[in-house]
Structure 1
Amino acid sequence: MPRGIPNARKDESGLRFTTFNVPLSANPKHVNSTYLKYDTQTLWSRNASKRLREGNNEDSNTQPEPQRRGSQVIVIHPGSRYIRIGKASDVVPVSVPCVVARKCRTEAPKVTRIRSVVRPWNQFTKDESAEITRTMEAEEMDLKDPFPDKLTAVTASLKERMRFFKLRATPNATVISETFNKQFQPEVIPEMNDFSEAEWIDHTSTEDVLIGDNALRIGDPEKAGYVVRRPLYNRTFNLHDYASIQAALSDLEAIIRMTLHEKHELTQQDYKNYSVILVIPDLYDRAYVHEFLDLLVSMGFKRFCAQQESLAATYGAGISNACVVDIGATTTSIACVDEGLVLSDTRMRLGVGGDDITEFLHVLLRKIELPYRDMDLSRAYDWSVMEDLKAQICTLTESDVAVNLYGFTVRRPNHPTVKYGFRVYDEVILAPMCLFEPPIIEYEAKRLPVKNTPSSMVTDEIVDHTSDLITNAMVISTRHLMPQNPENTVNKSQPPTTQTSGTSTPKKVEAEQPAIVNDTSGSQGSIEAQADAVEDGSKKSGQLSPSAEATPPTAAPQPPAQVYAGGYSIDVPFEASKLPLDVAIFNSVRAAGDDRIRKYLQAVLLIGGTAHIRGIGPALESRLQAIATPVVSGMEKVQVIPPPKDVNPQILVWKGGAVLGKMESVSELWMTPADWEILGMRGLKERCFFL
């Protein structure tokens, strides 16, 4: 023993401090116990056996009435604009606008609308213009309107695609449209000839709560004493308009209860006989799922389970492998499904949706002097007019770009019905092109404030969930924004990576990337190394100039860098949400593995309300083909799968949930309120292994 270390002192008293005997670890080779080794010993089987015994004790003479399969299952698919509720046995669900109006005893607060696209300064209000001027002067920025430059970039992309398809532009088309719109005189329709006159709700209404279409028929909510809010936004709770999660949950409960009562004639006493399938986002927030399921438990439903949107979409489409692209109202969700399993590393969420197209179309139409100059998208009836215009005129087919005449009708409270006409040129295609042009979107304005939720402060698992929303597809998409290692920065032997946008034509991409095409001609190699060109969706270059590389930076005290979720130096989910749609789809497919790229690019399932835009399928195919052809060897034609015949892509996810509710295997996914009280989210994770 080394010198200086005393010997351990022996315990000469022979007394123990405790009478507890620590059992020795058993040799696993000689363990004969079967405890918790079989399904019959779990909590689920004990509950099933208990229900079976209770059923045998009942009078055998009472036979239950034969019911249609799925008639006792309610499928709920919540969304930012609509919430779809219906029985699994129904053909189509009940689509209710996800909006609630509550009567205020005091003065109704004004709900501000989130403006999510860039606008020219002449379309700002006085307060907004003053705020922008103060901000730019404080940051010593050049007082220049950024809208013309961003619009010019989108227009240049359109002209490039038209030249590729050998289409000729109409000269002076914008001037022709603007001149016609300035001189147009609207037509007033007499009340006797208006067969679609709306019944507006004013201050004389005595209803405390209005939901759905009734809430949207309030002409002036402030004068009527109502506050109109949407409880969901960006596939989670709307913390922009609500002060707490419980307030949003209260409005959600009102929507579900009143819809079940009015459309399905179900009361509170009937809930105990019905099961619920809740369709949740692919990239879900644990607090959102926890609070929503808590709401279902408090409402008294018999049992429930959760299902992801992409998996439900494949059920509804009748396919087992697909790259599901769901373009919703406020966000776009992308995920790959492989044999009934959502690949978690392929999930992505983009901060662009159908509402951004609607708002950008309004900006473009105001630019060419739309005759209806009093349009305000913060009013429900004006937003409805612009939604109808989007469905009527928007297209992504370049051959449809021409000077055309369209008309629309405006119905306002306390005003006669007016019919307008206007001419447009390329505005019909520039508006939906914001899906592929990220600079048009104001992503910072769409970010929700961060507020603590009950389930974010108290959890039933001692696990850090801060990096749950970061996937491999997001890391691939934001790799060019992360700080590089010094040895990688100085290494000049590596050829610079070219960067492509989703709007490039195939000929342009082949010309820009000759090295990539030559490398992939012989063998596929590492696609991850070859496809660095599409990582920069926002068209930013992360390389240093030669002068900056030669001159070492002077030593200066640097503030500590901010660390985001997952230990990254940037906000990975937020930066990945700025990608163009085509680049995001390609990066999502890359995250599934090099051997699966071709399989998923030939099975792109496009769903959501924006999938109704004419020509969006071929437009997405051509852009994906331009990206994949130089990078993936042996790449065949990219294919966008249309939804099944006579199935609305808006309700395809709900249809998939209804299919699950009719399957016998759904019995393995049910969770009872008693199980939820005992196990919580851990029990849901055991029942639904994808969570």
Structure 2
Amino acid sequence: MVGKRSGKAQMREEGLEKTDNNLDITTWPVVNMINQKNYYTEYLKRDDQILALRSQNEESRNRMVREARDRDRALAQTSNNGATLPDPDVEMNDDTIPEEATGGMGMQEVLGSKVVVIHPGSQYLRIGLASDALPKTVPMCVAHKSRENESEGESVEPKPKRLKIDGEVPEDPDQWFGDDFYDLFGRMGSELTTRMRLNKRRVLPNQRHPASSFNRKSSPDIITEHNDTDRVDWTEIPPFSRKAPEYFTGNAALRIPDKSNPRYKLFWPIQHGWLNEKDYSSKNALFRDITLILEDAIKSQLDLPRKKDWNQFGCVFVIPDLYDRIYVTSMLDMLIRDFGFGRVCFIQESLAASFGAGVASACIVDVGAQKTSICCVDEGMCIESSRINLKYGGADVTEALFKMMLIDQFPYSDINLNRRYDFLLAEERKHETLTMNDADVIVRQWSFYLRVAGQDTRRYQYKTYDEPMIAPMGFFEPDLFDISSKLEGRRKLIDKGYDLYDGSPSDPISNAQIDVLEWAQRKYAEKNGDTNGVTNTTTITATPARQQPYNLLNRLNDIEGTPRSSVAGSPGPEGTPNPARDSPAVGGAEASDIPLYDPVAEKIKLAEERDHILPIMPLELAILRSISHGSKNDEKKFRDFVGGIMVIGGGAKMLNPTVTNPKNMNTASFNTFLEIKLREAQPDLKADAVLAAMPPRDLDGQVVVWKGASIYGKLSSSGNDSWIGQKEYDMHGARLLAYKVTWSW
């Protein structure tokens, strides 16, 4: 009889006993259990755990202690001399100094007198103290010593550019700018004639012929310098080259004689709303010129000659709605380290415009010299998805105007907008002649004085017909503008900003701006005869059943849906089958030949594609795109934005008469014409639902942004917590912007 065996013996005999062979159950990585002690952690969830915010709270607390100490000191003095006590309920602003600090003279500093407000643009810089009613306007240019000026040299072409046939410019002005421009000019003239007839305007046939005949026969009158009462005061250059200044800025740079000895070359560090990388050879030279322009403006225009006193001032700097991060961080470093301002804050253009106009919600349309920006502002915040930046403005209108006048035999046919005196003459002619009222489209005679250093003044007479109205209509027909050279030099010196953690491009982009880029790309493709509607720098994603159109927005949304924490895919365990690698469909290709999806590389590729597309779109379509994205399919918000369009900027001001004609209370303007184009673009809008208005209170459209920034700079610390001080910048650097700016950085 066999004895009873234990269970362990049976499992050992039958081979069922569990043995440890040091092999894992699975090759997939094991996720450990969550440590319950740290599961409810508050790390970086409170303001006192972030040094930047903690420093701000400590500053506020120290200010309250300081104000309480000042009140106690005033109370002690009151018991001795019987003076009145300050009101404890009134908050003392950072820019206000108590009377005892001024020696008991009863004087207090004006609110905002210690804040410098800077709004740089492509053509003009507006700068002033926050306590000023209006800013000082300075040309945003600098002139350096050079062998040649900006209009000399074989590689420099005249502006507007004249086409050459067999290496020479043709004698007939109709051929100077190509058949495309000439045909577009004629078509827009015909459309304007049709519009005038619908408005019951009297239109005579072939009215352009009398104007061109007069211009062809016109010859200038010579006026000697001593008989010219309005002669120009040119910038004086010392006769010896060694004593001549190295540079001039602002108006002095524009008034340097072209044939000066030594020569000076003019530079504009900001062009088309971007940093002008085309005309510079290094990044340092570009930012050095910006520093020179700002520094000279602060010293001369604000009467602050001593740089060591600037640490007592704060600075409010206006940036575009769609900005380059490197531009913002570089300006922050310049203002704090080079200029030594005690504190600095940034504000976006559209938000500053809403501050200046005193409106909480509006669609801001800012028509500048070389760019037009559109953004919907709601309750004091810029709606990020609605931001649009178009690369045309008043300077393009100037060039188009003189192209058309040269076709119509403009008597001063040698005009070159690269020359300083011709540039100033063109700006003067534009502001005097442009109109958006079809009642003014008649044959009209004008005169101007051409003043050149070292030459007698010449007086020209000329006539225009419809050119002064067709030129600004280019805002709604961008093909009228020359955009061939606006992308030259882009990203030559300054690379695109990239995210610190995942390496993807960090410069902001909006859904509305992507719509504009797609429209511009299709337009370019159609113009070049590409039936697919894409350029050679893009690819089309397609399926065997149906070909999908190229869509930057869809691709970007797909990429953004990928979690940021999983940039690179986790590798599979060894021996795990890989369908993409082992499938016979790839023909036995090596693993290194199979393209892997990299979301970061895809984002970088999309960013590079966008850099090769110039954002151009008719203004009325761009406004509707911006409002559509800003309203987010909310009909009420859409109606509010369409009925609250505010047009600002110098490019719009010249087309909006400030004084209404008493004989015609419905004097047309740029805003009125814009309303008509918006209703034509979207016919379902009611006539009274569209309103494009000027800023309220007769505020100058050119200074609305600066005015809003000055108001922002006068807010107390409790109302403006975006100030960046010197000490915290020394500790954190540009990382502070993520906590300080009022938008998503």
Under TM normalisation by the shorter chain, which class is it?
0.7 to 0.9
The one-character-per-residue Cα deviations of 1:116-173 (angstroms, maximum 9, x if unpaired) are 9986637x894789xxxxxxxxxxxxx9732222223322332332233233422221
Aligned length: 590
Contact residue 312 and residue 656 of structure 1 kept, 8 A = yes
Matched with 1:625 is: 679
The Cα shift of 1:48 comes to 5.2
Query: 1:161 & 1:318 partners in 2: Cα distance?
Result: 36
Query: 2:159 & 2:616 partners in 1: Cα distance?
Result: 13
Residue 110 of structure 2 is aligned to residue 76 of structure 1: no
- Shifted more, 53-62 versus 246-255: the winner is 53-62
Query: 2:160 & 2:266 partners in 1: Cα distance?
Result: 25
Contact residue 272 and residue 302 of structure 1 kept, 8 A = yes
Query: 1:374 & 1:210 partners in 2: Cα distance?
Result: 27
Contact residue 335 and residue 346 of structure 1 kept, 8 A = yes
Query: 1:570 & 1:108 partners in 2: Cα distance?
Result: 34
The Cα shift of 1:478 comes to 2.1
Change (3 A) 1:111 1:83: farther
Matched with 2:663 is: none
- Shifted more, 681-690 versus 303-312: the winner is 681-690
The one-letter amino acid paired with 1:294 is D
Change (3 A) 1:387 1:430: same
Q: Please, which runs of 5 or more residues in structure 1 have no aligned partner?
A: 12-21, 130-142, 492-559
Residue 732 of structure 2 is aligned to residue 679 of structure 1: yes
Change (3 A) 1:81 1:44: same
The one-letter amino acid paired with 1:583 is L
Residue 436 of structure 2 is aligned to residue 404 of structure 1: no
The one-letter amino acid paired with 1:597 is F
Matched with 2:692 is: 640
Residue 643 of structure 2 is aligned to residue 602 of structure 1: yes
Contact residue 609 and residue 650 of structure 1 kept, 8 A = yes
SS at match of 2:448: strand
Contact residue 117 and residue 442 of structure 1 kept, 8 A = no
Matched with 1:24 is: 35
SS at match of 2:101: coil
Matched with 1:357 is: 397
SS at match of 1:668: coil
Matched with 1:257 is: 295
Query: 2:603 & 2:479 partners in 1: Cα distance?
Result: 25
Query: 1:394 & 1:176 partners in 2: Cα distance?
Result: 20
Matched with 1:500 is: none
The Cα shift of 1:410 comes to 1.4
Task: Please provide the CA RMSD for this pair.
Answer: 3.7
Alignment match of 2:268 (pick from 206, 230, 239)? 230
Query: 2:650 & 2:166 partners in 1: Cα distance?
Result: 31
Contact residue 113 and residue 129 of structure 2 kept, 8 A = yes
Query: 2:213 & 2:707 partners in 1: Cα distance?
Result: 47
Query: 1:437 & 1:98 partners in 2: Cα distance?
Result: 28
The Cα shift of 1:619 comes to 0.6
Matched with 2:742 is: 689
Matched with 1:389 is: 429
Contact residue 185 and residue 404 of structure 2 kept, 8 A = no
Residue 233 of structure 2 is aligned to residue 220 of structure 1: no
Contact residue 497 and residue 507 of structure 2 kept, 8 A = no
SS at match of 1:76: strand
TM-score (norm 1): 0.77
Residue 240 of structure 2 is aligned to residue 183 of structure 1: no
The Cα shift of 1:393 comes to 0.8
Q: Please, which runs of 5 or more residues in structure 2 have no aligned partner?
A: 1-15, 25-32, 75-97, 103-107, 171-176, 523-532, 535-539, 549-594, 596-600, 657-668
Change (3 A) 1:465 1:576: same
The one-letter amino acid paired with 2:706 is W
The Cα shift of 1:208 comes to 1.7
The Cα shift of 1:34 comes to 8.8
Change (3 A) 1:433 1:125: farther
Alignment match of 1:196 (pick from 221, 227, 230)? 230
Change (3 A) 1:381 1:678: same
Query: 1:635 & 1:401 partners in 2: Cα distance?
Result: 25
SS at match of 2:132: coil
Matched with 1:280 is: 319
- Shifted more, 469-478 versus 424-433: the winner is 469-478
Alignment match of 1:586 (pick from 600, 607, 624)? 624
Change (3 A) 1:663 1:47: closer
Query: 1:116 & 1:438 partners in 2: Cα distance?
Result: 21
Residue 101 of structure 2 is aligned to residue 64 of structure 1: yes
Identity %: 29
Change (3 A) 1:98 1:684: same
Alignment match of 1:173 (pick from 207, 210, 216)? 207
Matched with 2:310 is: 271
Contact residue 329 and residue 354 of structure 1 kept, 8 A = yes
Change (3 A) 1:461 1:291: farther
Contact residue 287 and residue 453 of structure 1 kept, 8 A = no
The one-character-per-residue Cα deviations of 1:366-420 (angstroms, maximum 9, x if unpaired) are 1111122332111111111111111111112222111111111111111112222
Contact residue 76 and residue 654 of structure 1 kept, 8 A = yes
Alignment match of 2:721 (pick from 665, 668, 682)? 668
The Cα shift of 1:100 comes to 0.5
The one-letter amino acid paired with 1:673 is Q
The one-letter amino acid paired with 1:45 is R
The one-letter amino acid paired with 2:127 is I
Query: 1:366 & 1:211 partners in 2: Cα distance?
Result: 31
Matched with 1:145 is: 179
Query: 2:732 & 2:158 partners in 1: Cα distance?
Result: 40
Query: 1:10 & 1:293 partners in 2: Cα distance?
Result: 58
Contact residue 204 and residue 224 of structure 1 kept, 8 A = no
SS at match of 1:92: coil
Find the structure with the greater CA-based Rg.
Answer: 2
